[in-house]
Structure 1
Amino acid sequence: MSKIRLAAVAALVLVPAAASAQILQEKNISLGVAQELAQATVEACAAKNFNVTATVVDRAGLVRAVLRADRASPHTVEASRAKAYTAASARTNTTTIMENADKNPGARHLAAIEGFLLLGGGVPVKAGDEVIGAVGVGGAPGGHLDEECANAGLAKVQAKLK
C-alpha cells in the first residue's frame, strides 16, 4: 500500500512541472500584416505587368490572406498557396529547396509531401530570426520573378516585422 501512495504522491508532484514545460510562446504573422504583404506583393508584380496571386500563410502554413490580381489565371491561387506552405514548412525559400532537390536525388521525394510545391516564388516571413509565416506568389513568367515580387512585398512591410 505504501508503494502505491508513494507513486501517487510522486505523480502529483511531477504533473505541474510537466504541464508548465509544454507551454510555448511563438510569434506569428498578424492578419493586418498578412493583408498588407499580399497587397504589396501583388502591386510589385503589377508594376512589372505580371498578373499574380499572392498568398500569405502563418507559421503553421495556414492561410491568412489571399489576393488575386484581376487578370491572374485561376491556377495561380493554389500555386501561390502551395509555395507559401512549402516555404513556411521548410523555413526557407522555395527556390533554394528546388535547387537542393535538383542536386540531391533523395530530396526529390519532397515533392511527394502533400501540399509541397518545389517551384520558385515562396519566401518565409521572419521576425528577427524566427519564421512567422510565408508569402507565395504564382503567375509571373518564372518562379524567380514570383520570388522577386515576394521579396519586394516583404521589403514594404519589413518595419512591421520587428
Structure 2
Amino acid sequence: MINLSTTSSSTVAAPQSRRRSIRRLWRGPAVAAATALLLGLLDQAAEAQVRRSGYDLPATLAVEAASEAVRVCAERGYPVSAAVVDPSGEIKAFVKGDHSTVHTKTSSFRKAYTVVTLGPVFGFEALGAFVEKTRGGPNTAALASLPDVLLLAGGVAIRAKGETIAAIGVGGAPGGEKDEVCAAAGAAKIGDRLPQ
C-alpha cells in the first residue's frame, strides 16, 4: 500500500520551496534597484537646492528677522512664533512671541521648511502664492504628505545673490496671509544687509 499523503506532500513541497528560493533570489536585486532609484531621485532633489554662492545667513541676522516678524504681528494683536531655517531645513533661529500657543513652534518651522526645500524646486518665494497655485491640483496631496511640509500661507524666502539662503515662517495669526505679512516684514528687515 502506498501512503498518498507522504507522496503528495513531498511532491507539493518541492515546487513551493523552489518558488521561495526564486523569490529570495530576486528580493535582493529588487531592493537594491529600488534603493538606487530612490537615492537617485533624492540626489536630483538635493541638487536643485544646492546653493552656488556659499553665503550663509549669519545667526544674528536670522534672530533679527524672526524677532521683527514676531514684533510686527504683536503690534497687530497676533501672538505668533517665527522660525528661520537654513537651506538644509535646520532651524537657524526661533522666537516664541509672548502669549503664542505651543503649536506655533511647529507651524512656523514647517512653513519655513516648506519654502526653503520646495521653493527652489518649484520656483516660488512666498508660500501663500504656491498654496494658491497648487490648491486642488493632482499633486497637492502628495506634497502635503511629505514630512515637515505644511501647505499653508505664512512663509517667505530670504534671498541673497539670486538664491534662497534661508526661509522664515510665522505661525499663530488668525490666517496664513497675516502670518505671511509678518514673515515678509522679518525678511525685509535684514534684506539691505544681505549681499546682492
Q: Does the alignment reach a TM-score above 0.5?
A: yes
| Aligned mates of 2:62, 2:159 — CA distance in 1 | 12
Paired position in structure 2 for 1:57: 85
Please say if 1:42 is aligned against 2:75: no
Identity, in percent, stands at 37
Letter in 1 for 2:74: A
| Aligned mates of 2:97, 2:53 — CA distance in 1 | 35
| Aligned mates of 2:83, 2:133 — CA distance in 1 | 24
Paired position in structure 1 for 2:165: 132
Structure whose alpha-carbon radius of gyration is higher = 2
Letter in 2 for 1:38: A
Paired position in structure 1 for 2:127: 94
| Aligned mates of 1:101, 1:46 — CA distance in 2 | 30
Structure 1 stretch displaced more, 113-122 or 24-33 = 24-33
The unaligned stretches of length 5 or more in structure 2 are 1-51
**TM-score, normalisation: structure 2:** 0.68
Of 152, 155, 161, 2:185 maps to 152
Structure 1 stretch displaced more, 71-80 or 84-93 = 84-93
Please say if 1:122 is aligned against 2:155: yes
Aligned residues: 139
Letter in 1 for 2:184: N
Name the structure, 1 or 2, with higher relative contact order (CA <8 Å, separation 6+). Answer: 1
| Aligned mates of 1:104, 1:39 — CA distance in 2 | 35
Please say if 1:31 is aligned against 2:59: yes
Aligned-pair distance for 1:124? 0.8
Q: Which 4+ stretches in 1 moved above 6 angstroms?
A: none
Paired position in structure 2 for 1:4: none
Letter in 2 for 1:157: I
The 3-state SS of whatever aligns with 1:161 is coil
Cα RMSD for the two superposed structures: 1.3
The 3-state SS of whatever aligns with 1:89 is helix
**TM-score, normalisation: structure 1:** 0.81
Answer yes or no: is the 8 Å Cα contact 1:82–1:115 preserved in 2.
yes
| Aligned mates of 1:49, 1:128 — CA distance in 2 | 35
Letter in 2 for 1:109: A
Aligned-pair distance for 1:106? 2.2
Aligned-pair distance for 1:25? 5.0
Aligned-pair distance for 1:103? 4.4
Letter in 2 for 1:57: V
